[in-house]
Structure 1
Amino acid sequence: MSLTLTALALAAAPADASTLATPEGPWSVDYGDRQCLAMRTFDHAALGRLALAFKPDMLGKKGQLLVKFVDPPAMPMLDEARWDLPGAPSTAHSAQVAMGDLANGEKLAAAMDFYPDNATTHVPRRIDFAAQGEVVLTLEVPEAHALETALRDCMVDLWAEHNLTPDLIERPVTAPSPHIASTYRGDDYPRAALDRSISGTVPILYVVNAEGRIEHCEVWQSSGHEILDEPTCKVLFRRYRASSPPRDAAGNAVSGAYIFPVVWRISDR
């Protein structure tokens, strides 16, 4: 799916002209293999052309903020992103930024865990990128509300492909207890994998219902070893029971969807 947003002419707080980038064209919102991605290109007088992207995780709880510098000059190493999110417990937020070189000569700056929990919007109106405490790049998003709506529509379509409803993701505010990590025991390790010293990580998508039982489980990403993938959900279906199921804001037991990486690792001992 691909959606293009026309930029809306909304007023924004003035920014330092020397750090402000100029948008080029509208936002595009696409989803492909289990992810939604919103992207827009900008131009900066000193830093050249760049692309800003928001990349939420599958459940829309966290995400990444990415900036790709298409034709970068000599530039400072960005180390911090700052933004405001209306509706979040605290409106001012910041995150560390990591920079790296891409194979084609482009540079990529990434801020992980971009979305704070319990925010009513995931898209800020403005983002400042700093290097050693000094803001060197400002990106304004005057059409943030429309972009947020488009991203949520994308996520709803993505959830539907996996038979998930918005309620399963958005209604629970308390996770089930105990955590599923406590379900797995040493004797669950596949004997054939032990014999061949095979280890790996199997991210799974699972649903815990209001009775605390596993209602659905699927391998979200293969470990690369079917011998590890195959038993991961079977163990969960067979053994897991939540003493406290997911709960909504009113304290009612509800069903909830989660993703967790199950690690199969052979102990050195």
Structure 2
Amino acid sequence: MEISLVGKKALVGGSSGGIGKAIAIQLAECGASVTLMSRSLEKLKAIVASLPTNLGQQHGFLQVDFNDFRGYQEILHNFFKDNQIDILVNNTQGPSAGNALEKKVGDYQEAFDLLFKTTVITTELALKNMISNNWGRIINVASVSVKEPLSYLALSNSIRAAVVTWGKSLATDVGKHKITVNSVLTGYFDTDRIAQLNTKKAEQLGIDVSKVRADMESRVPLKRIGNPKEYGYLAAFLASDKAAYITGTQIPIDGGLLKSL
């Protein structure tokens, strides 16, 4: 099965590394013109320069800080004055780790701005042209923790669950315009984020970080951590015409980690 995104334009959040970068690369390899978003200017420049252009793709980037909602909103408004996209991947860095006893109400507000408000405003701006074109793909990068909360990720558990339920509601509203909205429930992937979380957990438990990773791998039925490329394959499929009848879903990509249905 060949997946072609030739002629499509994509906007991918958090794409200077990890899952976001892997998604951007795969979309570009399938023919899409990709605009990356991240804080790291040097990384963005390097990735854009490395993306394939053999199918007429034209790539670019937006330097944004997802933690600065007002600044982010201004940059996105300006971008959409002169640009339109067909594929939107809502992805940001995660909020700080910590359990529910450690987090205060202000922490939840910051996480809400970071994860929920940026997702909603970006989607709102992208939808105008998607509706006009009668075609669009919205992919929300979420987490398996919305189904089985992780005690050390109280902020992410709470706000990502809101994103997923919002996405389900949106899918119902925009389906008539041939726009699909799906959320991907992310398991353990070999990214800097996982490395940071493992380091913190190792410090809290007073053990070597390699033991934390080994324990993580042992809990995955496939007995390994995911490769971000594998995430990119799923995103490219959901972004394509091959997935035209898939919407309103929450798709785990976790090596079988989730125990619930």
TM-score bracket for this pair, using the shorter chain length: under 0.3
Relative contact order: is structure 1 or structure 2 higher (C-alpha 8 Å, sep ≥ 6)?
Answer: 2
Larger strand percent: 1
What is the TM-score normalised by the length of structure 1?
Answer: 0.26
Larger helix percent: 2
What is the TM-score normalised by the length of structure 2?
Answer: 0.27
